[in-house]
Amino acid sequence: MQITERKYLAAHNQTIGYEIPSLIQNYNFSENKGGIDYLTKSSAVYSSNIEGNSIDLNSFMNYELNKDKFKVGKEIEEIEHLIEAYKFAQNNNLNEKNLLICHKIFSETLLIKSKRGKYRVEQVGVFGKSGLAYMAIEPEFVEQEMKTFFNDIKELISTNLNEAEVFYFASLIHLKFAHIHPFRDGNGRAARLLEKWFITEKLGRDFWKISSEEYYKVNQAKYYETINLGINYYELNYDKCLAFLEMLPNSLK
């Protein structure tokens, strides 16, 4: 399935899409909720938490206030690098080259230097408590899949989309990227960053402020359940994708 696919758009509109304009209108984008700097840090903390980082937002912000009194550990560095990647994205266009730069930035504590900012050359799977949950596409096909993926993003960026369509395609971008799983590590962080990056390309810088990462963390069980559409890349059933596509708009509530 390509991310330009409109097959599920009508159903998405019926379940939540028609609500999106009013959800956006009622969303608090004011500085009273927190400026973009604070909310970027929040996004990075929650996205890292989803991947097992134990530093909560309160702890990280207190560290920020007292940096000179703390010894910086790996988990703090991991969050700081992801913040740096978000800031890079906020000041650069969404394209393949810039995504790879973001990955190189935020994966410093995750991967050896030769694998940062580069697509994987090994087979990877996603494993849970019960064993293998998902097997990603073979490494020899990753680069071509990503070329197609970013050609589709380029097409979507140049296409006139309404707000409901932007959120629909942003969620598909997140979902498809997670299924390709192009990196050795850092795929979840990259998928969540890409989703928000696409929204801001289409609707403006204020949308970096939405709390999608926090929503995914709070609803982590549902997040993992709905992103899982099959045992491997070739058996994904996108007819079951609506539950996942509804999560992003629900983060505006």
**CATH code, 63:** 1.10.3290.10
pLDDT of residue 75: 96
- The range of the structural domain enclosing residue 108 comes to 9-250
pLDDT tens per residue across span 108-166: 999 999 999 999 999 999 988 888 999 999 999 999 999 999 999 999 999 999 999 99
Residue 4 falls inside a structural domain: no
Indicate the pLDDT class of residue 72, thresholds 50, 70 and 90.
confident
**Mutual orientation of helices 96-106 and 142-158 as an angle, nearest 10°?**
120
pLDDT in tens, 200-251: 999 999 999 999 999 999 999 999 999 999 999 999 999 999 999 999 999 9
Residue 217 confidence (pLDDT): 98
DSSP 113: G
pLDDT of residue 128: 83
Give mean pLDDT, residues 179-183.
Answer: 98
Q: Kindly state whether residue 240 falls inside one of the protein's structural domains.
A: yes
127, part of any domain: yes
Tell me, yes or no, whether 108 lies in a domain.
yes
Residue 1 falls inside a structural domain: no
- Provide the terminal-to-terminal Cα distance of the chain, rounded to the nearest Å: 29
User: What is the model's pLDDT at position 112?
Assistant: 97
Compute CA distances 213 → 138, 162, 199, whole Å.
Answer: 28, 23, 14
Is residue 225 situated within a structural domain?
yes
pLDDT at 105 over 80: yes
Domain-embedded: residue 3: no
Helix (H, G, I), strand (E, B) or coil at 135: strand
pLDDT in tens, 31-68: 767 789 999 999 999 999 999 999 999 999 999 888 87
pLDDT in tens, 9-25: 999 999 999 999 999 99
> How many domains does one find in the chain?
1
Residue 2 within any structural domain of the chain: no
pLDDT at 129: 82
For the entire predicted model, the pTM comes to 0.96
What is d(CA 18, CA 20) in angstroms, rounded to the nearest whole number? 6
Counting Cα atoms < 13 Å in the Cβ hemisphere of 250 gives 15
